[in-house]
Structure 1
Amino acid sequence: MNKHAVHHLILEKLVADLDVAQRAAQTAYETATHEENIAENKYDTLGLEASYLAAGQAKRVEEIKQALTLCQNLSLRAYDEQRGIEMGSLLGLEDEQGRQQWLFLAPDAAGLKVDVVGQPVTVITPRSPLGNSLLGKFEGDDVEIVVAGARQQFAVTEVK
């Protein structure tokens, strides 16, 4: 698995998500400001509801723009056995049941998933318990986190 290719897929997905969000925000704005949605009485809330939706969509657009900018500015370095896992690392993890997963440590866009030749790769950030625990770890290290009172343990199987 190539981390530059994964990074490129993440950027493509963010651009596509931004396009969808911008169109949704524009539609919500047009609905909120359309003359047919002007309230006729205090119980007519369609225009108000549409304005809340438009505001939420606009916020989502800004969040995606921020994630895109941060990910575009991410400089990818080759894995350094002295520094360990850092921002921009692509890594394989195995849980206690032997299930494997691929993660990409990014500054933003947590939860975004891309598919690399049938293998899902999930973006995580250092703000998450797992992302924070992985920083500075090395291939072969174990990582333990507690989420909602449950202990989870992972082995770092591969780092790129």
Structure 2
Amino acid sequence: MNKTHFIEHLRFALAAQLETAKSAAKTAHDAATHEENVAENKYDTLGLEAAYLAQGQAQRVNECYLSIQQFEQSFKEVISDKVIVGALVCVEYETGAQAWFYMGPNAGGLIVEHKQYQVQVLTPHAPLGKALLNKRCDDEVTLSIAGKSQQLTIINLL
């Protein structure tokens, strides 16, 4: 796995999220300002609802910009022998299955395709992120979710 190439793919994925958010915000704004959404009486709230949606979509665009800034900072983090924000981590589960994660500042759950790998963005606030934070290569981590315990080993750290 080449971390530099992965980061480029992650940048494209974040830019795609931003473009989707911008498009949704424009659509919501157009709906909110359309003449058909002007209230016909005091009980007609369609225009108000459209305005709330437009406001929420505009906030989402702002959050995407902030996310990109925070990720750019994480890309500059120095390489560490511990799992920190900015680390690209491969873990192996008890079953032998392997999974790649990028410890990001936000956007947890985002999946980025890179070559034959699927890399999931993980935040330090997620249960698995908390368990992996500050661990080293070859460390074993136990994760309990819904009363079920899983053991995994960090097998690669970039």
TM over 0.5, yes or no? Answer: yes
1:95-106 matches, cutoff 5 A? 95-106=93-104
TM-score with structure 2 setting the length:
0.90
Q: Counterparts of 2:141 and 2:91 in 1: how far apart (Å)?
A: 9
Percent identical pairs in the alignment equals 43
Gaps of 5+ in 1: none
Residue 136 of structure 2: aligned partner: 138
Q: Counterparts of 2:42 and 2:95 in 1: how far apart (Å)?
A: 57
Three-state SS of the structure 2 residue aligned to 1:73 is helix
Deviation at 1:100, TM superposition (A): 1.1
Q: Counterparts of 1:150 and 1:55 in 2: how far apart (Å)?
A: 41
Aligned partner letter, 1:41: N
The one-character-per-residue Cα deviations of 1:95-121 (angstroms, maximum 9, x if unpaired) are 222221100111122111111112100
1:4-15 matches, cutoff 5 A? 4-15=4-15
The one-character-per-residue Cα deviations of 1:98-146 (angstroms, maximum 9, x if unpaired) are 2211001111221111111121001101111111211221111111122
RMSD of aligned alpha carbons = 1.6
TM-score with structure 1 setting the length:
0.89
Three-state SS of the structure 1 residue aligned to 2:53 is helix
Question: 1:93–1:101: 8 Å Cα contact kept in structure 2?
Answer: yes
Aligned partner letter, 1:91: V
Residue 21 of structure 2: aligned partner: 21
Residue 121 of structure 1: aligned partner: 119
Question: 1:139–1:158: 8 Å Cα contact kept in structure 2?
Answer: yes
Structure 1 range deviating more: 34-43 or 103-112: 34-43
Q: Counterparts of 2:67 and 2:152 in 1: how far apart (Å)?
A: 27
CA distance change for structure 1 residues 34 and 73 in 2, over 3 Å: closer, same or farther? same
Aligned partner letter, 1:16: A
Deviation at 1:44, TM superposition (A): 3.0
Gaps of 5+ in 2: none
After TM superposition, the runs of 4+ consecutive aligned structure 1 residues lying more than 6 A away are none
Three-state SS of the structure 2 residue aligned to 1:47 is helix
Aligned partner letter, 1:147: I
Q: 2:105 is matched with which residue: 104, 107, 126?
A: 107
Residue 86 of structure 2: aligned partner: 88
Q: How many residues align?
A: 157
CA distance change for structure 1 residues 148 and 51 in 2, over 3 Å: closer, same or farther? farther
Q: 2:152 is matched with which residue: 151, 154, 157?
A: 154
Three-state SS of the structure 2 residue aligned to 1:21 is helix
Residue 3 of structure 1: aligned partner: 3
Three-state SS of the structure 1 residue aligned to 2:125 is coil
Question: 1:4–1:76: 8 Å Cα contact kept in structure 2?
Answer: no
